[in-house]
Amino acid sequence: MRGVVFGVGVLAALWCLLPAGAAAVGDSDQSVAVTFNLCPGSGPTACAGLRVYVDSASNHYRPSQKYSYCTKDETSTGFAPKYHGEVLHVHMVAKGGFATSCQAPVASRNVWIVEAYKDGKLVSRGSFWFGQNTGLGTGFYPVCGKDAPLNPAFDNMTCDTSNNNLTLSVPGSKPTYPDCPNTSQQYCAIQLHVDSTKPCLSLPISSFTSPYGFCLGKSDGTRNWTTPFEAIDKLFFAGFGWANYRNQKWSAYLMSQGLIQIGIVAGTVPSADSDQFQVKYARLWPLDPDPLNYLASGSSGPPGSPGGPLLFDFQRGRIGADVYMRGFLQRTRLPRTPKDMQQVHELVQELPELTEGPPDQVQAGLRSLFEDIPDTEE
């Protein structure tokens, strides 16, 4: 390793999960999904002995304002990856409170350092920036190596961004899978994030512990599967709904672009605290190149890996919620769909009215959809 700044036991010893403080008016929680392709190989031992540390550069370099500006409660953590391609959601609070100097047009931003140790030895490291350009009203996005205190910014690690997500990889180990619904390979990749800025229709509000619910908003992730804004009266929206059914949490991601394009990812989550989304039915209409079959996840691999369920995370916010799902889908052998998308179209058209009523109205609509999705393959 060249130019190692932190020896083992320094960054490793300093990491901690910083507690979130009380948010001021105008503050906002921001996050970026980081995929770690750091332990290629197969089997349960592929990641053995590996530990990854993610820490704000401002904890180690001065002046701190160069690496962290108008942010607080930045993610600072260490973890042992369970598999190649594991995802970590890195958070920060963008300060915008009226009691601070961080009001618009000030832009919030932070730089993180990432180091990977194998059996106690530093093997790769890098840095990434996450922030906005001009303050209030502009989106947050990641950049590989920007404002990095490291020289070089990456050592035995590569970095790339796509759809406002970030991927860090050991050189040559990044898996290449086409985006769903591509049929050129056995598996296709999908990654979705639902941003619900309104209270979810559930009891308790915005809680996945509720027996049913629906979170309405916008989404980002895999191309063609997302809607960048919410205008439900015009049938532009993304949402995540669920209902306790067949002794499981049957769940569905729904996306509509004015009925011109509709996406659905539906299946089961074993429990409210599970990180696994077993997809039983997924379609992207009308762009699916194989309209006679549908997509589903496997059950033989770890969550988020080819052959396994999607990696799933439901994060309840102060008002709404963020729902993340990421992994791989594959074609099923049987051309069995919820009445060839007819029910999906009907539910999308009914949602503006359903979301104005009590939550159990949405539950009824979702259950009518789930009833036509097979629980097991025949």
Structure tokens at 226: 């997302």
Residue 312 domain boundaries: 187-370
What would the pLDDT profile of 282-299 be if each residue is shown by its tens digit? 989 888 767 667 888 988
What would the pLDDT profile of 329-340 be if each residue is shown by its tens digit? 988 765 555 565
Query: Is 255 found in the same domain as 161?
Result: no
Predicted confidence at residue 10, as pLDDT, reads 37
Mean pLDDT for the chain overall = 82
8 A C-beta contact, residue 125 and residue 110: no
Query: Is 354 found in the same domain as 205?
Result: yes
Structure tokens at 246: 């067949």
Nearest partner of 117 among 105, 128, 125, 108, judged by Cα: 125
Query: Is 35 found in the same domain as 135?
Result: yes
In a domain, 120, yes or no: yes
Query: Is 213 found in the same domain as 159?
Result: no
Query: Is 80 found in the same domain as 227?
Result: no
Query: Is 95 found in the same domain as 125?
Result: yes
- Among 142, 169, 196, identify where a domain stops: 169
Query: Is 230 found in the same domain as 141?
Result: no
In a domain, 178, yes or no: no
The model carries a pTM of 0.63
- Among 169, 197, 227, identify where a domain stops: 169
In a domain, 66, yes or no: yes
Query: Is 343 found in the same domain as 290?
Result: yes
Query: Is 304 found in the same domain as 349?
Result: yes
C-alpha torsion sign, points 79, 86, 108, 28:
negative
Structure tokens at 85: 């391609």
Q: Report the chain (378 residues): mean pLDDT per 10 consecutive residues.
A: 40 38 66 87 76 95 89 93 83 72 73 96 96 71 93 93 85 75 82 90 88 91 91 93 87 93 92 92 84 79 86 87 91 61 82 77 77 57
Query: How many domains is the chain partitioned into structurally?
Result: 2
Predicted confidence at residue 333, as pLDDT, reads 62
In a domain, 223, yes or no: yes
Rounded Cα distance between 336 and 311, Å, is 24
8 A C-beta contact, residue 88 and residue 36: yes
Query: Is 68 found in the same domain as 141?
Result: yes
Nearest partner of 112 among 87, 141, 163, 76, judged by Cα: 76
Rounded Cα distance between 371 and 368, Å, is 5
**Region class of 49: left (phi > 0), else alpha (psi between -120 and 50), else beta:** left
Query: Is 162 found in the same domain as 215?
Result: no
- Among 105, 136, 169, identify where a domain stops: 169
In a domain, 174, yes or no: no
Query: Is 307 found in the same domain as 197?
Result: yes
